[in-house]
Structure 1
Amino acid sequence: MIPERCKVEQFFGEWDARVEHVACASDVDGLSMRELLQLADPETMALWEGLDLGYTDTLGHPLLREAITEQYARMTAAEITVCGGGAAEAIFLLANVLLEPGDHALVVWPAFESLFRIAPALGATATPIELDAENGWRLDLDAVRQALRPNTRALFVNFPHNPTGALPTRHEFEQLLELAREAGITVVSDEVYRGLEHDPDAMLPAACDVDEQAVSIGVMSKAYGLAGLRVGWLATRNKRITDAARVLKDYTTVCAAAPAEILALIALRAGPRLIERSRRIILSNLPIGESFFTEHSDAFEWAAPKAGPMAFPRLRLPVPVDEFVADLAREKGVLFLPDTIFDMTDNRLRLGLGRSSLPTALERVDDYLASRAVPTGS
């Protein structure tokens, strides 16, 4: 089973080392090791200093799983499975557990590639449920309902959403889970940006707390600024899914890296401080990004995000977004992500709000547009 090549990883593999400013990152500025260790309590510091670099618990360190449960209302440590390959491994495991040849899945669209490229490689089909760009990237529940088939087995969702920053209301999210429950399908909820809502009161409940058949996916990469740890997890009260995923996991990462687990434990115990740090970076960049794209309204159509470290403005210039992105990267060392990576043709680009270097990057974009005599919007 070999999926199509992952466009986003190929894209960053081509450009990352060639630019000074990655203005399309899906995460926030990473913490340094020094910063993270300064957050350790006496117990976790003792674990770090006395760490044995052998194999770890295949399900995840017991203290780590206990710390993960603090994010949920109804989960126990026994229902958490730590993935040493991050959220991508969790998605891979779940797709393999839930889908067989001839099955059907629904995927909220646009989507992180793992959410839709694995299904076809398994002999299943995936139907995109497009968010409504004209209405603030709204999720259309009727479209979900109409796309259901007798062989639909799973619904893959991602809120807060990558790349649009969309976020449904709590009522809409609970309606979605109820619709899936009535249809007898499993919701796989990619919640890696949970906690990064621009309005904290808008945070959705975890799917695994609302529906005992649903699965929630989390990771240290996004809200915590620790992508290098590669620690993710899946959480569900569905024992059949948990058992099957753990069997398959013995053939993928087996266990997480011992240092990464203890560092993740340190971070989770200081979780509110790290999430607040991430939100502070995002919210300081949000008005800067909005002002820039509004000022250049002849070149871009701004679409305000509701959550997470990304926005998805549309390029209005008479040039394909791929060409614009490549030329900007070569000329000014600033990298945006074109919507073609998401198999879209709407001439949009992903903006990352999680890097403190964004204001400097946008100054370079301003210079680039001025050098091409692109007028400033009124």
Structure 2
Amino acid sequence: MTTHLSKITLFSIMKFPTFKLEEYFSHSEFKASYLMGSSDAESFSLQEILALADDDTRSIWETLRLGYTEVQGSPLLRNEIAHLYPGLQADNILCFAGGEEAIFCTFLSLLNKETHAIVVTPCYQSLHTLALSFAGSVTTIALDEAQGWKLDLDKVKDAIRPNTTLIIFNSPNNPTGALLNEDEVKNLIDIASSHDIYIFSDEAYRLLGRSSLTWDAPVASLYPKAISLSVMSKAFGMAGLRIGWIATQNKELLKSIEFTKHYTSICNSGLSEVVSLIALRAKDIVLKRNCEIIDNNLSILDNFFGDNHTRFSWVHPSGGCVGLVTFNIATPIDIFAQELLDNTGVLIIPGSIFDIEGNTFRIGFGRKNFPEALEKFETYVNRYAKESSYS
């Protein structure tokens, strides 16, 4: 317990860099009419989700008292989440108030100034920033765009040091949409296992993608020292619930991370836990709707990029609902993005937010109104081309 207290004391004097993506959203997200850079699936109304409740969960909802909940998360909820992880049970799951808290508590529990971490980039900023904050040193391994955003496993091997504690990656990847295949995951596990290293696998977009996509087992089911992260925010389209979780075979580690959670949220919202339980029991219906939206939007995007191949290029995303687009334009993408928002209400995310050089931007295609947003985007781009030297 002393270790955790000392880490919390250290955190109290830490200064974190600006969280570029969250700062960008705080200024622009709720001013935009069209979130064409969003990274989550179409949301649901509370009424829609409650309509999916079975007799058991409806009774739980109607009789819910607004007291404290269990630190680990509702046993019923953890049991339902465990169904997503073959071989794992409810006591292999720890719930949080969103994925961000799960990342924070896990990294604070695993990393210290004597440790080294490896982070695959580009990624959600906290995966990198918090590793830098808590570990003594961090090595980044960039996905290779020329190879379809492929992870070079030889670079991962070469980056390992005697004090390497954790390998951190995100699949499907945000912002590229890249997905590690079964062989790549197996080889990464072999590398980690041979050096007794933990793996943190951000799987927030797992189960979201084309309807035809088949999913391999989550990493937590495959390796005793793996931690899989997921949330209700992305694939399930329920970001407002603020429910996330980690899954791991390592119960001792899970208890350590739980101690850290005592200093953050302590416990989750009971209301959110029940709604999450309802949604997870109806996951086939929820995910089917969201993946069908992506089927439609990807088809429209393929046609758009085919018609505009001299202006735009991208590596077709393998999973999730985001992709990284390169824009052949002289104007810096940050300036263009602001002008686009001001003139059309369409929001895209400049690649600079992810520390990616060049005129790139993240596009999100998980929303129902994406076709309308893309139409407004194309109209603006065509007008922009006529009024500038860009062509």
Q: Percent of counterpart pairs with the same letter?
A: 38
Q: How many equivalent residue pairs?
A: 376
1:38 aligned to which of 34, 41, 51: 51
Aligned equivalents of 1:200, 1:360: Cα separation in 2: 25
Aligned equivalents of 2:299, 2:226: Cα separation in 1: 36
Aligned equivalents of 1:200, 1:210: Cα separation in 2: 23
Query: How far did 1:123 drift?
Result: 4.8
Within a 5 Å distance, the mapping from 1:191-270 to structure 2 comes to 191-198=203-210, 200-270=212-282
Within a 5 Å distance, the mapping from 1:1-378 to structure 2 comes to 1=11, 2-83=15-96, 85-198=97-210, 200-373=212-385
Superposed CA offset, 1:93-115 (max 9, x none): 11111110142111111000110
Q: Which amino acid in the other structure matches residue 229 of structure 1? A: L
Query: How far did 1:200 drift?
Result: 4.6
What is the TM-score with the length of structure 1 in the denominator?
0.96
Aligned equivalents of 2:274, 2:56: Cα separation in 1: 10
Aligned equivalents of 1:126, 1:198: Cα separation in 2: 34
Query: How far did 1:201 drift?
Result: 4.8
- SS of the aligned residue for 2:385 comes to coil
Q: Is the deviation greater in 210-219 or in 287-296?
A: 287-296
Q: Is the deviation greater in 257-266 or in 235-244?
A: 235-244
Say whether the 8 Å CA contact 2:210–2:291 is kept in structure 1.
Answer: yes
Q: Which amino acid in the other structure matches residue 71 of structure 1? A: L
Query: How far did 1:249 drift?
Result: 0.5
Q: Which amino acid in the other structure matches residue 81 of structure 1? A: L
Say whether the 8 Å CA contact 1:300–1:317 is kept in structure 2.
Answer: no
Q: Is the deviation greater in 31-40 or in 284-293?
A: 284-293
Aligned equivalents of 2:107, 2:91: Cα separation in 1: 21
Say whether the 8 Å CA contact 1:207–1:216 is kept in structure 2.
Answer: yes
Query: How far did 1:55 drift?
Result: 0.3
Say whether the 8 Å CA contact 2:211–2:288 is kept in structure 1.
Answer: no
Query: How far did 1:267 drift?
Result: 0.5
- SS of the aligned residue for 1:312 comes to strand
Query: How far did 1:11 drift?
Result: 0.2
Q: Which amino acid in the other structure matches residue 69 of structure 2? A: T
- SS of the aligned residue for 1:372 comes to helix
Say whether the 8 Å CA contact 1:170–1:202 is kept in structure 2.
Answer: no
- SS of the aligned residue for 2:309 comes to coil
- SS of the aligned residue for 1:350 comes to strand
Aligned equivalents of 1:217, 1:49: Cα separation in 2: 30
Check 1:146–1:273 CA distance in 2 against 1; reply closer, same or farther (3 A cut). Answer: same
Alignment RMSD (CA, Å): 1.6
Say whether the 8 Å CA contact 2:204–2:231 is kept in structure 1.
Answer: yes
Superposed CA offset, 1:292-320 (max 9, x none): 22322232112211110011111111121
Superposed CA offset, 1:165-221 (max 9, x none): 101210111111111111211000111111114265541211111001111111111
- SS of the aligned residue for 1:373 comes to helix
Q: Which amino acid in the other structure matches residue 329 of structure 2? A: L
Say whether the 8 Å CA contact 2:93–2:246 is kept in structure 1.
Answer: yes
